[in-house]
Structure 1
Amino acid sequence: MPTEPLPTASPEVIEIERALSRITYLSTRARQHERLMALAGVPLDRAAVALLRQIADSEPLRPGELAARLGVEASHVTRTVQQLQKSGYVTRVPDPDDGRAQRIQLTDTGRQAIDRIREAGARGMQLALAEWAPEELRRLATLFHRMVDDFLTYAVEDEKEQQLPTT
């Protein structure tokens, strides 16, 4: 099945992609993660932190839902959940919609850890954006949320399109 060529990106979109690539690189460097964990006093790897953040924002979720939201394989989530459960950060609870399934939720220890991680991250961001006016920060936050929502919508639609049977 032939694929359609991608539309040419506008100069603005190209600049946004470049900026996002730069900030992603800066924020995901191992040294940056280690520094953040040291400030927060939490000994977790990046995958565990990403999972805790997702659970904190929408708990409790089934492991498959967590995998879909993080864009990873379910086996990665299963392994990370097992590690977090052994360390006391998460627990499994019955799924109220399906007695055979379980959902993952934060424990008090997990909630405290994610709060410390977010606080440490926010302090660093506050220093970096100290010269920005409150209205600029509000606009940036609104636009970032809108962009993420649009990315998620596109990802879901793209995934559905790829699953359509070919005739």
Structure 2
Amino acid sequence: MDENDGFERSRGEALAELGELIMSIARIMRDRGPVDSRIVAVTELERLVIRDLYQYPGSSPSELSARVKMKSSNTSAILRTLEAKGFVERHPDQQDGRSSRIFLTDLAHESIALVQSETSSLLAALNFDGTELDRVVQAFSDFEASLLSESNV
């Protein structure tokens, strides 16, 4: 007998289960770490900054801080660490010589490509068709944007 016989879970219960699954899968993937030895290990905060700079190349440190909801001192510390790892470089701002613009290096782009390949291979087991996958990606992108816009960090 199916454990759900005679029981239809509510939307709230299904969403709570989805949230638990997302958190569990994220933890497992994070703990699993990269398989490819060419991937340079980064912290969660470094990953957040790299992801933002991948989406918004040439950002100023203050623009970056605002988007990732971090204090400028914390962002500066992470940028120094990423510079030491060879992942970011600063270029003078052409409009404001007092400021700099941050760009990912070739090493960062190579590492991102390796991580994306591993992630894609791992998630291929989900067996979404193209339309389903596009809908899921859009839904999670919209949800992330909503959470970030509400955040007061």
- What range is the shorter-chain TM-score in? 0.7 to 0.9
Question: SS at the partner of 1:100?
Answer: coil
In structure 2, what is the equivalent of residue 12 of structure 1? 14
Would you say how many aligned residue pairs link Structure 1 and Structure 2?
Answer: 142
Gapped regions of structure 1 (runs ≥ 5): 1-8, 163-167
CA contact (8 A) 2:40 2:111 kept: no
Change (3 A) 1:133 1:25: closer
Structure 1 position 134 matched with structure 2 position 132: no
Contact kept in structure 2, 1:40 and 1:113, CA below 8 Å: no
Is 1:144 the equivalent of 2:146? no
Q: Share of identical aligned residues, percent?
A: 20
TM-score, normalized by length of structure 2? 0.72
For the pair 1:60 / 2:58, whether they are aligned, the reply is yes
Deviation at 1:19, TM superposition (A): 2.0
Distance (whole Å) between structure 1 residues aligned to residue 143 and residue 48 of structure 2? 20
C-alpha RMSD of the superposition: 2.7
Is the 8 Å Cα contact of residues 55 and 105 (structure 1) preserved in structure 2?
A: yes
Q: Is the 8 A contact 1:94 1:101 kept in 2?
A: yes
Distance 1:100 1:153, change over 3 A: farther
Distance 1:133 1:143 in 2: 9
Distance in 2 separating the partners of 1:12 and 1:116: 34
Q: Does the C-alpha gap of structure 1 residues 72 and 26 become closer, same or farther in structure 2, counting only changes over 3 Å?
A: farther
* 1:18-76 per-position Cα deviation (integer Å, ceiling 9, x unaligned): 222222222222xx12xx1x415122222333322321122122223333433443333
The normalised TM-score by structure 1 is 0.67
